[in-house]
Amino acid sequence: MRAVTKTVLGLGIAGAGVLGWASLVERNAFVLRRFEVPVLPEGAEPLRVLHLSDLHLLPRQRAKRSWVHSLASVDPDLVITTGDNIAADDAVPSLLDAYELLLPLPGVFVLGSNDYFAPKVKNPLGYLTRNHAKGVGTTQRLPTADLVRGLRAGGWVDLTNRRDTVSVRGLRIDVLGVDDPHLGYDRLDLVRGAASPEADLTLAVTHAPYQRVLDAYAADGADLIVAGHTHGGQVCVPGYGALVTNCDLDTSRVKGLSRWWPGAGSTPSSEAPADAAWLEVSAGLGTAPTAPVRLACRPEATLLTLVPRSRG
């Protein structure tokens, strides 16, 4: 019995230590990931794109706000946010404060489910089943209109089920996006169409990287697809990786840079065509307030340095 007791106590202490690390340390250990992506025309100068996602911001989270505020120092040419910005009905002013130095820069955005609805307590085992979206969109409404107004007033382009064009350092970038696919709000019929040969870059944006959206973007000739939502798995197994993506994306693409082409979800990456789109999925900067832990998956923003295709 003494040996059993020691084992149980040891496991309890180890579990408490892991939980403490995940909830108090790693959850606030923000990091800037950097990738080089060969998607620009020959002779183009590199373009720096800052991607932010899944802040799930609460007004009391001053450290997160300060860290996001500091990202202006990386001197991005374009900012993308892929949704789930807020987590409370009083969080919009705090979010706009965090984005204060970034809003004057060229930027585009789409929304996520937690820009519409407050988080809900769920059974975490549900994420291991097909019920991962159960209950989404049934909680308290958040001030979405105030959020959108604030981002638009700062000059960022709203890509909610629409296409547009932005000019960045002399490059024409065709941008398109959909409303949150996790809620079923995406209207691909409003943004489908072949990429223009006059564009220097076609950039497609979504909050949740569901395969139906990625397939449509890639089929229409997007050069770069940017998404969030997955939290990188959020609670990962050290040495193994993510167990879930919270959508139908495979876990090998849960975060970071990969390639995508129509049907990529059912074919091995070794069969990727030469013209496959680049896909960057951010693990995001936050967690839902109902699950404030991260393990083996630090909160992140991403700096994408876009370079000519010849460098790829």
- Look up residue 188 and give its amino acid: L
Q: Which helix (H) or strand (E) element contains residue 214?
A: helix 211-219
> For residue 129, is pLDDT > 50?
yes
What count of Cα atoms within 13 Å lies in the side-chain half-sphere of residue 64? 28
User: Is 174 in a helix, a strand, or coil?
Assistant: strand
Quote the CA–CA distance of 253 and 207 in Å, as a whole number. Answer: 15
Lowest mean per-residue pLDDT among 105-119, 132-146, 262-276: 132-146
Q: What is the mean pLDDT of residues 242-266?
A: 96
Model pLDDT, residue 203: 98
Region label for 194, one of left (φ > 0), alpha (ψ between -120 and 50) or beta (otherwise):
beta
Mean pLDDT of the chain: 91
What pLDDT digit, counting tens, does each position of 106-123 carry?
Answer: 999 999 999 999 987 765
Model pLDDT, residue 6: 45
Extended strands (E) in 76-168: 78-81, 107-109, 157-158, 162-168
Model pLDDT, residue 134: 55
Per-residue pLDDT band at 270 (split at 50, 70, 90): confident
Quote the CA–CA distance of 60 and 273 in Å, as a whole number. Answer: 47
Q: What is the mean pLDDT of residues 58-81?
A: 98
> For residue 11, is pLDDT > 50?
no
> For residue 176, is pLDDT > 70?
yes
Extended strands (E) in 169-296: 171-177, 201-205, 224-227, 256-260, 277-281
Q: List the structure tokens of 164.
A: 């547009």
State in Å, rounded, how far the first CA of the chain is from the last one: 62
The string of DSSP codes covering 234-256 is: SB-BTTTB-S--SSSS-GGGSSE
Quote the CA–CA distance of 158 and 179 in Å, as a whole number. Answer: 10
Residue identified by tokens 């609805």 is 117
- pLDDT over 90 for what percent of the chain? 81
Quote the CA–CA distance of 103 and 157 in Å, as a whole number. Answer: 11
Per-residue pLDDT band at 23 (split at 50, 70, 90): low
User: Is 227 in a helix, a strand, or coil?
Assistant: strand
Model pLDDT, residue 138: 77
Q: What is the mean pLDDT of residues 261-265?
A: 96
Q: What is the mean pLDDT of residues 21-26?
A: 73
Model pLDDT, residue 25: 86
Residue identified by tokens 């994420």 is 127
Look at strands 256-260 and 224-227 and give their pairing. unpaired
DSSP annotation of 307 reads E
- Please tell me the pTM assigned to this model: 0.91
